[in-house]
Structure 1
Amino acid sequence: MPSSQPAALLSIAARLLPVKPPEMINELSEALGKLIPHRAVAQLSTQCAMSPVGAAGDPAIAKVITGAELAPFLGSVVAGQPWVGDAPIGGSDHPVLAIASDHTPRGSVLVFVLTPGSTVSAELIELVQALWDVVTAHFYRLTMEIEPSALQQSRAVAIAKAGIAAELSEAHTATLASLLGVLRNRQLEDVPARAMAVELALNALVELRTESQRDRSDAGEEPARRAFQRLADSLRTLLRHTSIELELDAPGNDRLLPAEVAHSARAAGRAVVLAMLRQDGVRRIRVGWRDDAGGLQVSLRDDGPGILTDDLDLGQIAERLRAQGGRVDVDAVPGWGLTIRITFKTTTPPTLGRTTTTAEPFAALGSRELEVLERLAQGHRNRTIADHLHISESTVKFHVANILTKLSVTTRTEAAALYHATATA
């Protein structure tokens, strides 16, 4: 490795530190252009609530890179272990170099879209890893120094934007899935199929235009049965031209729900059903609501393979629900299917940006998560935990991720230490 490279990286670090976060990716791309030949570079920095995604370089690539394309790198690339390979980004496959950092609680990732045919030495990659760690730690510190009110507002805006984008995406996905169901139905002739597809598209447009008006007309509250019926209607449309049997279990009372809880429960239910439809072998889906003094509980079950995969995207659904005050518990039993339970507390609605503390640090964990935590604290690996609890290893990974988030720790060791400290207190 040329002796000038470490000095060059230190010089680049000094150049980047005074830069404002939104401008950093452009400066970094320019500074590293000669060392790492690339067509574009993108970042996903979770410490920046307002604009976590940034990209620079060839506009044909940089302008079409999305957070959804970068998120898998954040979940799969281990901090301190850069990854080089081909991956979909900017709408097509490219050779990439992905570098993750854990110098912020939820992580960050830097992705280079490499120039075809170029190579980057292991020594240089190691130096760039250190550079990204420094940049991540620096900007995380800046985030923590922001005035609390401004930071809370920034996070609130980011959460709202992410929620709206995700729900719109799911609504469009449901509409497209319904259209494809019609067009692929061999029992329909061409003319009836086209007419039905047009009807579905028009109904979807009307639904999008009237959704906000219907929500406002509820004046902050909505009867539980009517809220459930709105979800049921959308799911019947989604599954009408499939072979999947939909079973519905409406709430037993018509207590008024806070409008935000009713909306979140509908959006979560639709998102989970869409995720279930990505599996092979699903013949039946059951959706039920139960509303009582403790809150609203949404249960969804299928008879699919019972194995959690990355295609299900349940981790993203759970992350969004946590921001909305909901809790997710998942059981995946191979050969029996998925069972997903979502709980919304309606007695004391959560305040955005404020964390409620309790005397019991594990109060936020579900019963299955407590079982996983107990075995994790005993030093068991995921495979052993899965065998003991008769669930899949992927389900254990999902529960462990939820446990770390709910306990506000970053490693299994910290979670185990908290468990033992509480047990001996």
Structure 2
Amino acid sequence: MSTSNDLPSPVSRRLQLEHAQAVAEQADRHAVTLESILAVLRSSRLDDRASRTMALDLASAALIGLRSTTDEQRGTMLEPVDGAFARLRSDLRPLARFGGLDVQFVEPPTAGRALPGEVAHAARAIVRSAVLALVDQEEAKRVRIQWDCDGLNLLIGIRDDGRGEITGHDDSLRPIAERVAALDGDLEVSSTTGWGTSLEIRLPLDPPAEAEPLEDSVGFSARERDVLRLVASGARNRAIADQLGITDNTVKFHVSNLLRKAGVRTRGELTAIAAGSARGHH
């Protein structure tokens, strides 16, 4: 039988999340490095010696980057939006230079709000993954990347000149959609056959606000709060009456008031929003 001691502590969960993010970041950078090296080795514009030299340079630079501890502090750091965009350009430079891909960058405003480190890192990883997916799935030769910031969100636009057959349900975009959703963001994909695909991404700069418990947001009496907590736990009227020492009719009266004040029609709706707000609060 499991006990509360079997559950991970908040500190343990935070450390697990940080570890997962670090692993994801390393995987993203490995993918960029490998794609860049492959692009160099496949390039028809370089001879064997030049391609080997460039591949070695890319591998060495990647190793140096892996040893850096800068990104380990991204959760507590802020990055100017133009600086974060410059790092993205640097990440994509080998692919653009040796992969035959024309990457057009539309610079973000320099005076925009600084990005939280986690958002800046995720945005670069999302764009890199999207570009690789478009090149692979869409056979794109030109990609246009634009960043903007409205003060509350980082807005990312990616457009290619590929076949225009990719959709938001495509397996190649699933990791991107999951990463965007994990940050409480939005992803929209639109394609036109023969004209290319456009990705519009919104990443909030602030974490979502915690939901206010229903019992705190509505003017319930003390007895109504007691009834609400029992209703949310799944207790029926007779059990509520026995526990509170009141009659069944009094419970029905309180439940009726709860429904009216909460603006719902059924006991199930009341239970759902009460339980949901309690989870958001905790």
The TM-score bracket by the shorter chain reads 0.5 to 0.7
1:332-371 pair list within 5 angstroms: 332-346=191-205, 348-350=206-208, 356=211
Shift of 1:245: 0.4
Identity %, equivalent residues: 36
Aligned to 1:323: 182
Aligned to 1:198: 56
Cα contact 2:183–2:204 (8 A) shared by 1? no
Aligned to 1:138: none
Q: 1:254-290 CA deviation, whole Å, 9 max, x = no partner? A: 3322222211211211121122121243111111110
Aligned to 1:61: none
Aligned to 1:232: 89
- Of the three residues 174, 177, 194, the one matched with 2:32 is 174
Once the two structures are overlaid, the 10-residue window that deviates more, 309-318 or 326-335, is 309-318
CA distance in 2, matches of 1:209, 1:282: 33
Aligned to 1:124: none
Report 1 or 2 for greater relative contact order, CA contacts < 8 Å, sequence distance ≥ 6: 2
SS at structure 1 position matched to 2:98: coil
Aligned AA (1:237): P
What residue ranges of structure 2 are gaps of 5+ in the alignment? 213-282
Cα pair distance change 1:146/1:265, threshold 3 Å: farther
Aligned to 1:304: 162
Q: 1:15-57 CA deviation, whole Å, 9 max, x = no partner? A: xxx7xxxxxxxxxxxxxxxxxxxxxxxxxxxxxxxxxxxxxxx
Greater fraction helix: 2
Shift of 1:301: 1.1
Shift of 1:350: 3.5
Shift of 1:313: 2.4
CA distance in 1, matches of 2:29, 2:44: 25
CA distance in 2, matches of 1:196, 1:249: 27
Shift of 1:164: 3.3
Cα pair distance change 1:345/1:328, threshold 3 Å: same
- Of the three residues 46, 59, 64, the one matched with 1:188 is 46
* Aligned CA-pair RMSD: 3.1
- Of the three residues 124, 129, 145, the one matched with 1:287 is 145
Aligned AA (2:86): Q
What residue ranges of structure 1 are gaps of 5+ in the alignment? 1-17, 19-141, 358-425
SS at structure 2 position matched to 1:313: helix
Aligned to 1:243: 100
1:157-168 pair list within 5 angstroms: 159-168=17-26
CA distance in 1, matches of 2:27, 2:75: 24
CA distance in 2, matches of 1:163, 1:257: 17
CA distance in 1, matches of 2:45, 2:177: 38
Shift of 1:182: 1.1
Aligned to 1:259: 117
1:3-402 pair list within 5 angstroms: 150=8, 156=14, 159-210=17-68, 212-213=69-70, 216=73, 220-254=77-111, 255-308=113-166, 312-346=171-205, 348-350=206-208, 356=211
Q: 1:383-419 CA deviation, whole Å, 9 max, x = no partner? A: xxxxxxxxxxxxxxxxxxxxxxxxxxxxxxxxxxxxx
SS at structure 2 position matched to 1:342: strand
Greater Rg over alpha carbons, structure: 2
SS at structure 2 position matched to 1:187: coil
Q: 1:313-361 CA deviation, whole Å, 9 max, x = no partner? A: 2122211222223322222222222211221222x3237xxx658xxxx
Shift of 1:243: 1.6
Q: 1:177-219 CA deviation, whole Å, 9 max, x = no partner? A: 1111111112211111111111111111112222x32563896
Shift of 1:228: 0.6
CA distance in 2, matches of 1:151, 1:305: 49
Greater fraction strand: 1
CA distance in 2, matches of 1:356, 1:341: 27
Cα contact 1:297–1:341 (8 A) shared by 2? yes
Aligned AA (2:139): G
Aligned AA (1:341): E
Cα contact 1:245–1:285 (8 A) shared by 2? yes
CA distance in 2, matches of 1:191, 1:297: 42
Cα pair distance change 1:161/1:313, threshold 3 Å: farther
SS at structure 1 position matched to 2:59: helix
Aligned length: 211
